[in-house]
Amino acid sequence: MMGHRQVEQVALFYEFSLEKHIPADHLLRSIDRFVDLQEIRRDLAPFYSSIGRPSIDPELMIRMLLIGYCLGIRSERRLCDEVHLNLAYRWFCRLGLDGAVPDHSTFSKNRHGRFRQSDLFRRVFESVLRRCIEERLVGGEGFAVDASLIKADANRQKGIEGDKGLPPEAAGRAIDEYLAVLDDAAFGAATEVTPKFVSPSDPAARWTGAHGGQAFFAYSTNYLIDVENAIIVDVEATTAIRQAEVLAAKRMIERSMERFDIYPARLMGDSAYGSAEMLGWLVYEHGIEPHVTVFDKSGRQDGTFSRDDFTYDHASDVYVCPGGKLLTTTGSLIDGGTLRYRASKYDCQACRLKPRCCPKEPARYVPRSIYEGARDMAREIARSWEGLVSRRLRKKIEMLFAHLKRILKLDRLRLRGPNGARDEFILAAIAQNLRKMAKLIPMPTLRPA
């Protein structure tokens, strides 16, 4: 029997509850348990006037941004439309059915003003991380560090040659931020090398061809994670260059120690963090086991003996060459951190192995870093079973970057300048930690009385 179409009849009263219409397994319902924004008003109070028209509730804006970054809604204009129409989004924002959604321009005004002045996003990130620690999702034993390139909001075809500099008429917020970080070791001071091209719209973004394809302007997002549950312990934005990424790793480790009293027992990383200075910093200054691939270019490709063919005697502080002769040092440092061990010219001239050792030099020398002990420790760990396990666990940070770009859709920045990159990276890290907690901690089930 064909049913009849139900014609809408306007009722005088409706009984409607948002709480009843949000599924128990909805992502936002699970995330809502871990969002505590009670301290926002106290932190932002000094940045508001005591008189005048009441502002938009900052907690509402933060909740809307969390929706956008947790669910991959990149446009704030679209985010406002989605919150207006979606019941679950309204429930999460505490708007009810009649609550007004703020205009998208409100986010820009607050982000460039109060939110950055108070470092609000960093405070929210740390409050979420503190909850992760309370839930015992952060063990503090094994940490991993890595960086990933994120394309900047800059047209690669409109870049200008780096040695020419910015045009005199260039102006804007991104230009001001670029000038402000010229002396920051994470940006302008990371290297003295002039980039091939500079973007006039976002000059702090670095021209890079690291992916092997077309070069592009990019920033680096740096993660420090606890490998037990892949919780992001810290996040830092830098220019897309290795020296800046190493500095970011140091900053994140020290910040986690200072603010959360977390002292990692071991650090996992690739060869970008395997320089002698970095390994020495880990071992000698903080007592952290370096589960890091050693950055080593001592191997030779011309068939002559490499440094590994020489045996170092710790007791006598000398190297022994394959011919059994000694290489000694005067103790003078080269480049501030390297000792040079040199053989006797008399021994080398009479040695039958000279064509395979130093055919073009009168005597052979071997450089040794003052941090070589830390490098040897990292090599021994790499050859052990623990090193093999660490290399497997290190992949968890790569999975987070894949999730960041494919699921959260942060493969290209929307905001410009170092501050814009920092805001986006921190918000994305908050979203990933919230989603991780929602996955690992099940929703409580109501038992019938």
Evaluate whether 179 touches 419 at the Cβ level (below 8 Å).
no
Q: Which helix (H) or strand (E) holds 278?
A: helix 276-280
Q: Are 396 and 306 in contact (CB under 8 A)?
A: no
Alpha carbons 12 and 106: distance in angstroms, whole number: 36
pLDDT at 141: 87
Task: Give Cα 315 distance to the centre of its chain.
Answer: 41
Collapse the DSSP code of 271 into the 3-class scheme (helix H, G, I; strand E, B; otherwise coil) and give the result: helix
pLDDT tens figures, 200-253: 888 999 998 887 788 999 999 999 999 999 999 999 999 999 899 999 999 999
pLDDT per position as a tens digit, 95-137:
888 888 888 888 888 877 778 878 889 999 999 999 999 999 9
Which single residue is written with the structure tokens 């200075």? 277
DSSP string, 342-399: EE-HHHHHT-TTHHHH-TTSSS-EEEEETTHHHHHHHHHHHHSHHHHHHHHHTHHHHH
CB–CB of 150/240 below 8 Å?
A: no
144-169: pLDDT as tens digits = 999 999 999 998 888 888 787 777 77
pLDDT value of residue 109: 80
pLDDT of 409: 94
* pLDDT tens-digit series, residues 254-273: 999 999 999 999 999 999 99
Is residue 286 within 8 Å of residue 295, measured between CB atoms? no
Kind of pairing, strands 231-239 and 266-269? Answer: unpaired
Check: CB of residue 107 under 8 Å from CB of residue 61: yes
pTM over 0.85: yes
| CA–CA separation, 36 and 34 (whole Å) | 6
Please identify which residue in the block is written with the tokens 């071991």. 266
* pLDDT score, position 1: 57
pLDDT of residue 112: 77
